[in-house]
Structure 1
Amino acid sequence: MSKNKVDHYPIMLSAAMLFAIAVMPGAVAPGIVGAAADSMGLGETQLGLLIGLYFAGFGIVSATSYLWIRKVNWRVYSSIGVIMMGFSWILAGMMEGYPTLLFLMFVVGIGAGLFASPSITILGDGTEAENGFSWMII
């Protein structure tokens, strides 16, 4: 048994599951786009922008995470990210205005990045980082 706390099964599983939740909007993007097209009558360009803003928010937070990931309490940032993502999804389901929906999708991406980045860091901090990263793929 490893002395590194990160190598324990529950920690690895939890981090991998948090990462999976964070990237889920990208995986179900066709469903999100289809629902938005049906309910709001959006064109292809508008639909692309809708999903693109999720990835922009996620990408900005993920790309800058090397600046803050080791300096902050990852539990607080992950909690903030989960709350941001959850409330933004709830509000997005109630909104009828396209600009508001765009903003909320960007916030969903930011929230997802706030808890995906610590998840990746946790998975990479084990004694065998390649095993940690394989948990993300599974």
Structure 2
Amino acid sequence: MVDKFQSGGVHMELQGEEDLLLVDGYGDGGFRLQGVKVAGSVVVLEDGFHPVKATSLLDLAEDDFVSVLAAPNKPEFILIGTGERMNLLPATLRKYLEEKGYPYELMDTGAAARTFNVLRMEDRRVAALLLAVS
């Protein structure tokens, strides 16, 4: 696998199925992706990941979805990990995603990370915005 830094994120060129980008772990304020510890919240796509400024659902903003909207392979939907517990998105973000035509599913961050992994192993085009948990 070759890592390339682009636009504040990491783009990964997969060399084979063993390189599939999955969430290896979460907690302690970050994630482990392909064996790399990443601090803070992230957007995970099929070919890389990008940092997210938000630390809580209330901090989440339209800008945090830019890397998803710019993805060359439009995801079928976005999994949104809302932290330790599942919570609803603020109305402005719900409206924004609906206007952009992006279906989304809300769940706690652990469930979103596990669901992302299962769907990626099924070769589904999915994105995950995961808020870090302690």
When you count helix as a share of all residues, which structure comes out higher?
Answer: 1
TM-score normalised by structure 1 residue count: 0.28
Higher strand share: 2
Whichever of the two has the greater Rg, that structure is 1
Of structures 1 and 2, the one with the larger relative CO (CA 8 A, separation 6+) is 1
